[in-house]
Amino acid sequence: MSALIILLLFGGGVAWLSERMGAQIPARVSLVVLLLASALFMALVRDVADTPVSLVSGANPWLLMETYTWIPRFGINVIFAMDGMSLLLVALTLLLGAVAVIASWTEIRIRSGFFQANLLWTLAGTVGVFLALDLFLFFLFWEVMLVPMYLLIAIWGHEDRARAAMKFFIFTQASGLLMLLAILITAVAYVDQTGQWSFAYEDWLAHPLTGMAAVWAFVGFLLAFLVKLPAFPVHSWLPDAHTQAPTAGSVILAGVLLKTGAYGLLRFGLPLFPDVAQAHAPFMLIIGVAGILYGAILAYAQTDFKRLVAYSSVSHMGFVILGIFAWNALAWSGAVLQMVAHGLSTAALFMVAGALQERLHTRNLSDMGGLWRAMPRMGAMAMFFIIASVGLPGLGNFMAEFLVMAGLWQAWPLICAVAALGLITGAVYSLWLLQQAFHGPLDEKNEGLRDFNARDMTALGVLVIGLLWLGLYPQPVLDLAAPTLDAIAQRVGG
């Protein structure tokens, strides 16, 4: 697994250097790097598939584990481990990474080498977050992936990029510091209990925190994760960052980076602080519902294509919060599925938005209209993904939201009913988006725009297949995540 991260980091360097051979080369290099990384990942996973026992037994949820000593002074080790949930998310990261490279194929002409390098480094950081099982290492990746993402927005972003990039970095950095504080509170408590330093997840599980320290530590973790998710009311960096980022940046932000927050909650927030987390569940559910409705209402009010999709992300990620804090395995599997499905559908929508911006030089919906006639392939794709994010049965997002609602209904029927309103508002803004951009009369100046080519269609086609698969036959994905979720359930009594 460390090889995977090293490959991405090293590939970033190669992509940067390859710029000297021509502005078009770096994108190719980074696509090759991502294909190599995927092959490596497949090889890792194939070993796992040969031993399906560990998948079923649930006694040891870790499919793979690597440990190296790093800083003995503080008992810090480099621990990478993969279970079903991180496997899914790493796969999503690599897939969307490739999509992002395709999205930047023609868009990025200036300093394309450094762009691709930052893209690959962000992906390396994200993969690190999904695999790290030492909290120090987790924090390191959590922070380090910000820097290349910041540069992506700050250098290649749109008109208001400076402010957006700054806001993104400060929100995440400040909440990250609180998480560092929380990590150290837990670590020092561990020292008090055992007399030695450790940041290893499994050590911490064996010596849970108690009392007020647990509450403070949980709040520290929670804030960092909620900012990343993002949850209402700490979401305000997201619309700016998503809107101003270049297409590939938006794809990675919405598709993968947001998931690190949810992943952190499921992996660390719940198992490390089961009692505190459960005590806060009602409050968190309200935050989730507020996010769903607030995001949906604001999405409807937007005139900017990317901003609308960004607010819809706030709304959809609200379902993930609901799924996590509904506190049963059904809802958790829904939350995991929602992470993947939302990643696929939103990445595709940002790709459409980026393609529109590249062709029309505007993201303003009122300048669009009737584009279906000019670009039928793009129109069809946009319709598919908009319908998917509305939650059409048979597609991944429906399956995910259904599971979340079903799980939530068992525990909190009232909240479930309110959250269901989000499905209606979701349909309203999504269809509004489709109608504004692609239906109605076509402006003359927009005639003869270049439609999606085979490269774009392949990238989106893969996402279409993914969403159909998640919608029609989600069982393999659910089976993958099940041991992880069972382990959490055993731990927190869900």
C-alpha count within 13 angstroms, C-beta hemisphere, residue 485: 22
Least separation in angstroms between CB 152 and other proteins: 11
Between the alpha carbon of residue 466 and those of residues 134, 291, 310, the distances in Å are 31, 26, 21
248 Rama sector, left if φ>0, alpha if ψ -120 to 50, beta otherwise: alpha
Residues in the interface with other proteins (CB under 8 A) total 32
Q: Which stretch binds other proteins (CB under 8 A): 44-52, 87-95, 183-191, 443-451?
A: 183-191
Question: Is residue 471 a contact partner of residue 398, using CB atoms and an 8 Å limit?
Answer: yes
Q: Which stretch binds other proteins (CB under 8 A): 21-29, 186-194, 315-323, 343-351?
A: 186-194
Is 245 one of the binding residues for other proteins (CB under 8 A)? Answer: no
Distance CA 234, CA 84 (A): 29
Q: What residues have CB less than 8 Å from 294, skipping those under 6 apart?
A: 232, 314, 315
Site string for other proteins, 112-151 (x = CB under 8 A): ---------------------------xx--xx-xx--xx
How many residues are present in the chain?
494
The single residue among 49, 71, 301, 417 that binds other proteins, judged by CB under 8 A, is: 71
Nearer to other proteins, 21 or 162 (CB): 162
Q: Which stretch binds other proteins (CB under 8 A): 169-177, 203-211, 239-247, 292-300?
A: 169-177
The single residue among 14, 31, 44, 177 that binds other proteins, judged by CB under 8 A, is: 177
Is 23 one of the binding residues for other proteins (CB under 8 A)? Answer: no
Is 215 one of the binding residues for other proteins (CB under 8 A)? Answer: no
Task: Quickly count helices (H) and strands (E) in the chain.
Answer: 23, 2
DSSP state of 304: B
Is 281 one of the binding residues for other proteins (CB under 8 A)? Answer: no
Q: What residues have CB less than 8 Å from 144, skipping those under 6 apart?
A: 125, 128
Q: Which stretch binds other proteins (CB under 8 A): 39-47, 70-78, 264-272, 286-294?
A: 70-78
Three-state secondary structure call for residue 79: strand
The single residue among 14, 45, 181, 290 that binds other proteins, judged by CB under 8 A, is: 181
The single residue among 188, 301, 414, 417 that binds other proteins, judged by CB under 8 A, is: 188
Q: What residues have CB less than 8 Å from 366, skipping those under 6 apart?
A: 303, 436
Residues at the contact surface with other proteins, assessed by CB under 8 A: 70-74, 111, 139-140, 143-144, 146-147, 150-151, 154-155, 162, 165-166, 169-170, 173-174, 177-178, 180-181, 184-185, 187-188, 191
